[in-house]
Structure 1
Amino acid sequence: MEAILAVTIPFFALVLCGYLAAWRGVLPEMAIPGLNIFVLFFALPCMLFRFGSSMPFAQLIDPTLIGIYALSALMMVFVTVAATWRRHDDGHGVDLKNAAFGALVAAFPNSGFMGVPLLAALFGDRAAGPVIGTVLIDLIFTSTLCLAIAQSHLAVGGTAPAHPIAGALRSMRGAMTNPLPWAIALGAVFAATGLQLPGPVAQIIKMLADAATPVALFTIGAVLWRAGQHAHTRTPVINYLPVALIKLLIHPLLVWSLGMLARKAGLPVPPFGLAMLVLAAALPSASNVSLLAERYGADNGRIARIIMASTTLAFVSFSLLAWAFR
C-alpha cells in the first residue's frame, strides 16, 4: 500500500494545489482557460502521441477491451439516467437534461488528464494502451450519447422542438475537433509504420509531454474551483452524492463483471488490460464536463459537486483498488 500511496498522494496533492491556488487568488480565474488550452491542445496530445507511438497497435486498440468498455459506458448512462431522472415540480428533482449530464460524469472518468499518467506511473507504460482506448470511447461515443439524451429533454417537458439528432451531430463534430483522438491516431500510425520524428521535433514533443501531467493535475483543481464559483443553484446532497458513488463503485464493478462474462464466453480478454479498464473506470469524473454543462445550460452546480465529491472520495477508493490489483 505504501508504494501505491507514494504515487497517488502526489497526483491528488497537485489537484488540491490547483484548487487552493485558484481559491486564494494566486491563480487568477482568467488564467484557468489558458491552462486548460495548454493541456488540451499542446501538452496532453504530445503525451498521448508518445505513448501511442511507442507500443504495438494491437496493445493500443484491443477490440475486445474496447467493446467491453463501450458496453459498460452504454449501461452506465442508462442506469444513471433511470436512477436520477424524476419530476422536479418541487424544485428538488432532476430533469432529463440534468440526468443526462449526471450520466456523463458517472460514465466519463478523468482518463486523459489523470488516468493515463497515473496508471502509467503505477503499472508502467504498457498500462497506457488500454486507458487510451477508453479516452476514445468517452470522447466520441459516451459524450455523443449523453448530449443526444440531453437534447431530447425538450421533447419531454421543454418549450421548443427537440433536436436530439442535431445535438448528437454537434457533439460528434466537437469530438472530431478535439485534438486528443487525432494525437492517438497519429501515434498509432507511427507505431504501425515504424516512422520516427526528426530529433528536434521529437525533443519538442517530449518537453510538452513531460509538462502534461503536473499542469493537467493542477488545472483539474483550478477547474473544480471555477465550476463551484459559477454554480447558480444549491444542490441537495441526494442529487449529487449517489452519482459520485455510482461513478466510483458501480462503474468499475460493471467493467469487471462484463470482462468476466466476456472471458467465460471465450473472448480473448487479457487480464492486465481488463485490470487497467477497471482502474480507469474507478477514476473520478472528468472535470471538463462542468464546462460542457455550463455551455449547454444544465445545472453546472450539481455537476461540479458530483465531480468534486468523486475526486475527493477517489483518493481512498482508487488507492484501495489499485492496491488490490497490485
Structure 2
Amino acid sequence: MAEIAGLLFPFFGLILIGYVAARVTRQPAEALGWLNTFIIYAALPALFFKLVARTPVDQLARMDFVVLSLAATYAIFLCLFLIGYYVRRNSFADCTIQSFAGAYGNIGYMGPGLALLALGERAAVPVALIVCLENAAHFIAAPALMAIAGDDKRSRLKLAGDVARKVLTHPFIISVIVGFVAAVFSWRPPQPVQQLVDYLAQSAAPCALFAMGVTLALRPLKRVPIEISYIVPAKLILHPLLAYVLMSSFGSFDPIWVSTAVLLAALPTATNVFVIGQHYQVWQERASATILISTVLSVFTVSLVLYVIRATSV
C-alpha cells in the first residue's frame, strides 16, 4: 500500500497545490480561464494525438471496448435517475444533473495522467478511446435530456446542429481523429513539430491537476445534499465494480485495458457536471458539493482500486 501511496502522492499533491494556491492568492475565477484554455485546446489534444498516432490501427478499432465502458457509465446513470425521479420525486432536470454527478467521472483532467502514471504506456489507447468517445456521448446526452426536461429552449433542429458542432469541433475529438489518420498512414511529424507536441503532452497532467485544485477551491462547500449519500458511493465504488464485471464478462481484452476502464470509472465526479448545471441553472450548488466531496474521498477509493489492480496482476 505504501507503493500506491507514493504513486498517488504527486498526483493528488498537484491538486492540493492548486487548491492551496487558490485559497492563499485569492485570484478571481476568471484568472483560471487561460490555463483551462491551454489545457483543453493545446496540452490534452497534443497528448491524445501523440498516444493515438503511434498505436496500431487494429487496437484503435476496438469499439466493443468503448460500448462496454459506456454501458457501465449509463447503467449507473439510469439507476440514479430512477432513484431520483421515482423515489426522491425530483424534477426531470434535477435527476439529469444528479445522474451525471454519479456517472460522469473526471476522465479528461485526471484520467490520462493517472492511468499512464499507474499503468504505463500500454494504457494509452484505452484512455484515449474512453476519454474522447465517452465525452462525446455526454455532450450529446446532456442537451438532449435537458431539452426533454424543458430547460433547453432551442428548436430540435438548432439543438441537433449545436450538439453536432460541439462534438465534431471539440479539441479532444479532433486530436484523436488526426492521430488516427496519422496511425493509418504511419505518418510522423517533422522533428521540430514532434518536439512541440512532446512538450505540450508533458504539460497536460500537471496543468490539468493544478487547475482542478484551483477549481475546487473556488467552489467552497456550503451544504451537503442528502443525494450525495448514494451518488458518491455509486460513482466511486459501484461504477468501477460494474465496469470490471462488464469488461471481464463480455469482452476479451488485454488486462491493462480492463484495469484502465476500471480506474477511469473510479474517478470522482467531473467538474463539467457543475458547468452543465450552471448552464441550465439546475442543481448547481449541490453539483459543486458532489465534486468536492467525491474528489476528497477518491484519494482513498482510487488508492484501494489501484491496490486491487496491482494485487490481482501479480
TM-score normalised by structure 2 residue count: 0.90
Residues 280-320 of structure 1 deviation map (CA, whole Å, 9 limit, x = unaligned):
10011212331232122122111111111111111111111
RMSD: 2.3
Q: Structure 1: 5+ residue runs without aligned partners?
A: none
CA contact (8 A) 2:69 2:130 kept: yes
Q: Which residue of 2 aligns with 1:118?
A: 114
Q: Which residue of 2 aligns with 1:99?
A: 95
Question: Which residues in structure 2 correspond to 1:45-194 (within 5 Å)?
Answer: 45-85=45-85, 94-154=90-150, 167=159, 169-194=161-186
Q: 1:322 aligns with which of 285, 298, 306?
A: 306
Q: Which residue of 2 aligns with 1:33?
A: 33
Q: Which residue of 1 aligns with 2:270?
A: 286
Shift of 1:143: 3.3
Instruction: Report the count of equivalent residues.
Output: 310
**Judging changes above 3 Å, is the alpha-carbon distance between structure 1 residues 95 and 224 closer, same or farther for their aligned structure 2 residues?**
farther
**Judging changes above 3 Å, is the alpha-carbon distance between structure 1 residues 33 and 276 closer, same or farther for their aligned structure 2 residues?**
same
Q: Which residue of 2 aligns with 1:44?
A: 44
CA contact (8 A) 2:139 2:166 kept: no
Shift of 1:165: 7.6
Look up the SS of the partner of 1:197 in the other structure: coil
In structure 1, what is the Cα distance between the partners aligned to 2:287 and 2:8? 24
Question: Which residues in structure 2 correspond to 1:6-21 (within 5 Å)?
Answer: 6-21=6-21
CA contact (8 A) 2:110 2:205 kept: yes
CA contact (8 A) 1:105 1:286 kept: yes
Q: Which residue of 2 aligns with 1:197?
A: 189
CA contact (8 A) 2:225 2:286 kept: no
Shift of 1:136: 2.1
**Judging changes above 3 Å, is the alpha-carbon distance between structure 1 residues 173 and 79 closer, same or farther for their aligned structure 2 residues?**
farther
Q: Structure 2: 5+ residue runs without aligned partners?
A: none
In structure 2, what is the Cα distance between the partners aligned to 1:272 and 1:120? 11
Q: Which residue of 1 aligns with 2:215?
A: 223
The amino acid of 1:277's aligned partner reads A
**Judging changes above 3 Å, is the alpha-carbon distance between structure 1 residues 36 and 293 closer, same or farther for their aligned structure 2 residues?**
same
In structure 2, what is the Cα distance between the partners aligned to 1:104 and 1:203? 37
In structure 1, what is the Cα distance between the partners aligned to 2:253 and 2:306? 19
Shift of 1:180: 0.5
Q: Which residue of 1 aligns with 2:205?
A: 213
Q: Which residue of 2 aligns with 1:260?
A: 248
Residues 127-169 of structure 1 deviation map (CA, whole Å, 9 limit, x = unaligned):
1211211112322113322332222222xxx7x9786786465
In structure 2, what is the Cα distance between the partners aligned to 1:290 and 1:75? 21
1:277 pairs with 2:269: no
Percent of paired sites with the same residue: 27
TM-score normalised by structure 1 residue count: 0.87
